[in-house]
Amino acid sequence: MIAIQSKLPHTGTTIFTVMSKLAEEHQAINLSQGFPDYECDEKLIGFVSEAMRKGFNQYAPMSGLAELRSVIAEKVNLLYGANYHPESEVTVTAGGTQAIFTALSACIHPGDEVIIFEPAYDSYAPAVKLLGGLVKSYELAPPNYDIDWEMVKKLFTVKTKMIILNSPQNPTGCILSEKDIKALIKLTKNTDVLILSDEVYEHIIFDGHKHQSVALYPELYERSFIVASFGKLLHTTGWKLGYCLAPENLMKEFRKVHQYNVFSVNTPMQIGIARYLKDPETYQHLSSFFQQKRDLFRTLMAETKFKLLPCHGSYFQCVSYEHINQEKDTDMAVKLIKEYGVASIPVSAFYMRNNDHHVLRFCFAKKQETLEKAVERLTKL
C-alpha cells in the first residue's frame, strides 16, 4: 500500500452519506439530504431527450452553450436588473458545488483568509483548506442565526481574500436582508475583498420577501462571483448543472481553472434547459410551490414536540429539541432513524467546531404523502 499524506486529514464520510445509508438500512423516511422525491417537468425531459435524439451529443463549448448563457443573462436581467454579458461573464458549470470550487481555486492562494458563516454548506471549508487557505468562521446561533456585522468586521485582516455568502441559507432557511447587504457594501468598500455569493436557493424564498441577490447591487459587481444551480431550480439535482456569474476579469481566471478540471458540461441538457427556461413561468412559480410545502410541513410539525425555527427560504426546516432532551444532535438524529423511522441531519455537521445547539434539519422538498407519513412517525416522540 502506498501511503499518501492526506490533504484533508480530518475529513471523513459526509454526514449526508452516513444518514442516507442509515436511513436505507432502517427503511426510514429520508428527509435528510436536500433533493426532491418527485419528478421534474415532463416537458424538460422531452426537450433534453429530443436534443439527444437529434444528435447533440458531443462536447459543448468550454464556457457553456451560447443559447443557455443568453437565457441565463436574460433571467438575471429580468430578476435583478443586472447586465452580465453572456459571452464573457457567464459560465455553465457541473452544478453549484463545482462553481464554488472553481471560483475558490481561481482566487485563493496559500495563506489567504476566507470568511464563512456557520452553520455552512459543507463544501466551503474543505475547498478553502485544500487550496492552502485559512477559514475564518463566524459561528451563528439559533434561533435566528443573525449576523452582527461588527463581528464580521473584527474577522477582517490584511489577509482577508474572500467572504462567502449563502442566501437563502442551507441549513438554516435564513435569508440576508437589504440591511445585511448594505453593511457588507460598507465593509468591503475600498478593499480588494472578493465575495462568493452562493445563491442556489434564489428561487425558493417565502412570505413575499425579495431575494437579495448580489446582482441587485452594482456596488458589489466588481468583487463578486455568483453561483446558481439548475438542480435546485428544476428539481433535477442528479443532473449536476449550474452556472457562475462574474465580471469579465474574474471570469477569465475562473475559466482558466474550469477548462482544466471540467472543460465543458453535458450538451443535451444545456440545450433542453435553454429551451425550457426561455419561458420565465418555469421559475416564477417556484417560491409559491415550495411555500405550500413549507406551510404543510410546519402545520404538521406543530403537532410534534419539536420547536420550529424560522424558515424564510431554501427547502430546509430546522427544529430545536433542547426542551425535550440534551442529547447531542448526531445521537438524536440516529435515534430518530432507528426508533422512529425518519432521517434528518444534525445541524452541528455544518460547523467545524463542536457545539451543543440541539437543532436538526429536515428537507421538505418531498411529496405531500412523504411529509405526512414522516410527521406521523415524529408525533410518536
Ligand X SMILES: Cc1ncc(COP(=O)(O)O)c(C=O)c1O
For ligand X, the binding residues (CB under 6 A) are 34, 95-97, 121, 166, 170, 198, 200, 229, 231, 237, 242
In the complex, what is the shortest distance from the CB of residue 269 to ligand X, in angstroms, rounded to a whole number?
Answer: 12
- The DSSP result for 21-33, as a single string, is HHHHHTT-EE-SS
In the complex, what is the shortest distance from the CB of residue 237 to ligand X, in angstroms, rounded to a whole number?
Answer: 5
**Residue 179 CB burial class (10 angstroms; 0-12, 13-18, ≥19):** exposed
Choice between 29 and 265, CB closer to ligand X = 265
Query: Which residues lie below 8 Å from residue 166, measured CB to CB, with a gap of 6+?
Result: 117, 120, 121, 197, 198, 199
173 vs 34, 179, 206, 257, 344, CA distance in Å? 12, 18, 10, 31, 15
Choice between 188 and 237, CB closer to ligand X = 237
Choice between 121 and 307, CB closer to ligand X = 121
Choice between 242 and 272, CB closer to ligand X = 242
Cα diameter, the chain: 59
- The DSSP result for 36-55, as a single string, is -SS---HHHHHHHHHHHHTT
Instruction: Give the N- to C-terminal CA distance of the chain in Å, as an integer.
Output: 48
Query: Which residues lie below 8 Å from residue 112, measured CB to CB, with a gap of 6+?
Result: 131, 132, 133, 134, 159, 161, 162
Choice between 118 and 198, CB closer to ligand X = 198
Residue from 232, 230, 240 nearest 265 by CA:
240
In the complex, what is the shortest distance from the CB of residue 303 to ligand X, in angstroms, rounded to a whole number?
Answer: 28
In the complex, what is the shortest distance from the CB of residue 215 to ligand X, in angstroms, rounded to a whole number?
Answer: 17
Choice between 71 and 233, CB closer to ligand X = 233
In the complex, what is the shortest distance from the CB of residue 36 to ligand X, in angstroms, rounded to a whole number?
Answer: 12
In the complex, what is the shortest distance from the CB of residue 323 to ligand X, in angstroms, rounded to a whole number?
Answer: 28
Residue with cell 432521517: 343
In the complex, what is the shortest distance from the CB of residue 366 to ligand X, in angstroms, rounded to a whole number?
Answer: 15
Rg over alpha carbons for the chain, rounded to the nearest Å, is 21
H helical segments located in the chain: 15-25, 42-53, 66-80, 96-107, 124-130, 149-155, 178-188, 230-234, 248-261, 267-277, 281-284, 286-301, 329-335, 368-378
In the complex, what is the shortest distance from the CB of residue 361 to ligand X, in angstroms, rounded to a whole number?
Answer: 11
Choice between 243 and 297, CB closer to ligand X = 243
Choice between 86 and 95, CB closer to ligand X = 95
